[in-house]
Structure 1
Amino acid sequence: MAFEKIQELLGDKADYLLNHQSKTFDKGLLHTPSPDFVDKIFVQTNRNPQVLRNLSALYNHGRLAGTGYISILPIDQDIEHTAGASFAKNPMYFDPENIVRLAIEGGCSAVATTFGNLGMVARKYAHKIPFLVKINHNELLTYPTKYNQIMFGSVDDAWNLGAAAVGATIYFGSEESGRQIIEVSKAFERAHELGMATVLWCYTRNNDFKKDGINYETAADITGQANHIGVTIQADIIKQKMPDVNGGFTTINFSKSDPLMYSQMASDHPIDLCRYQVANCYMGRAGLINSGGESKGEGDLANSVMNAVINKRAGGSGLILGRRAFQRPFEDGIKFLNSIQDVYLAKEIDLA
């Protein structure tokens, strides 16, 4: 997709997003994606050589190979949102082979999905694209509905089916977050022992984070701290929702904050809000990938391109898109993924 097409999709926000220069803090403090990102960042860490090899597999596969950016196809919604609700628009994805095929033909860096999906086709595809096994989930058969991430398998099983990485979700702010932090930190420790990379879905979840019609679960200050806890338990890559508001701590009146967080560390510009998330990932040493969100129809492409521009110019490492790709006809899903990848390949889009 040509740069002109990206500008067209951004519409009246093109100048606002493409020419913004962040003044929150010196961009020279950031560790930004680059072809030598694994060497530059992870060689000096406690990660063993097999983790470095698997991280390199992620960063050197697909259309974004060798750029320092990553494009991951996540399809775990069959558990998180029920299979029927997720695949009704495109029933072919009840067959897990089609999930892997979409990631491969879509030029993705990795495919992220469940133990069952990857285990069913492991021998055919584990050597053709990096597997990222999602090891915990929220299930929706409990009534009344509760939101709680529980383990669905072992890290050793993920290694046995050929995974390059494991992924997990923590609902920071929820009643069960303490247990989840302990479980996931132990799982990540074992994953690193076995040589797998680790990816954390750093979501916040608490009904009291909503006030006056605004959902502060996606506030930059709250999600930023979730990211910081995520890298503290040694996640190599952080997945986070795009921030669309700030001042969660001060509005809800909990935790601790400093006025400089809102006056100097961030502004109300979406790139600056996202950059605050990057800063909390050890200034980008752990890559930040923002999630795509639910599919809403015709506006998905423009919205996803906008989010990719925000993430890239903030210092992030990519987008992780699922529903917006697989709830389309197969070929359209490939084109959708490629269009988002094109933002990261566009040399005209630089760090703000």
Structure 2
Amino acid sequence: MRCLGAPAKFGASRDMLQYIWSKLYAQWLRSQLVRRLPKIELKHGTGTNLILGIARNYSISDLRPFVRSARKFHDCRILLVINNDPELGKALEAEGVDCVLEDVSSSLGRPHMNFARVTDYVAVLQALSGQVERVFLADTRDVVFQSDIFEALPDAPMIFFEEGKGFSLESAGWNGNAIRRTFGLPVYDQIKHHEVICSGTVLGRHGVTLMYCWEKLLLGQMVRRRHHMRSGVDQATTNVIARVNLVPSSVVMPYDGAVATLSGHNTNFLSVKDGLLVTAQGGVPAAIHQYDRNPAVRDFVYATYDGPKSGKAGDKSKDSTLRKKLRVAFGLQGP
């Protein structure tokens, strides 16, 4: 009888942890609803287009390829959210980039950092209401520009970008599993034939982008406890939003278009020619994402923009406190 009862007890314990997690995530999300908005003075660039990125835990050498290429080809606003690091802030200001200096508060219920960053997007976009019309949300460590991203793309409500050719949710195990385990088989079966969309590059109008971010956070309430610990939740929510049309009139662009993404089997479709990164068909993408997955492309970018001296740029975040490690171990907080 004891053996027969063990699975039931285990299931009850698991359900209790899930209930606790859901309460903690809801509490964290409520705190973001009333979060103090940053005071932002846009001092660099002109106009109402904005490139927005989260750049916590990176050094200035990690960020130079992003900021220098962005400023080379854009006179728009460029804003990075970083830790409360005045020296890094000064270095970025010298590159013509505005900054928000704000540490991440460590709290129970906060999901994985890749997903939690959406609240930074929300805070900045709310603070800049009325000042910004189009927004390019971009990863900062592995994105480099070759022309004006806003001129290269249509003025659609929202534009998503596929990761690669022949890289469907059904064939891409990591992405497919994130969808299936997060939202269940019915949703997965409905969208599994679609190509994977990358969550690291998204362009949209200000109000639509703000709605998209809130949709991601609200969908997070559906995510089971353990999967909040994983970075795949960020991409899973983006793919669900795009593929079940939660942002009407959104556009999905191919992996080798204005934003070229080096992912999966497609890491080698770009080459260096006459000082540019070009496709086999001779196209010159306006931006390249995940360029560090191709060593030759990465080394060219680092040499061009004084990036890290060797290897990949690195996330310098530390997991050093016993309290945080215990929260992560029990599934009550993302790393």
- Look at both structures and tell me which one has the larger radius of gyration over its CA atoms: 2
Q: TM-score range by the shorter chain?
A: 0.3 to 0.5
Question: TM-score if structure 2 supplies the norm length?
Answer: 0.32
TM norm structure 1: 0.31
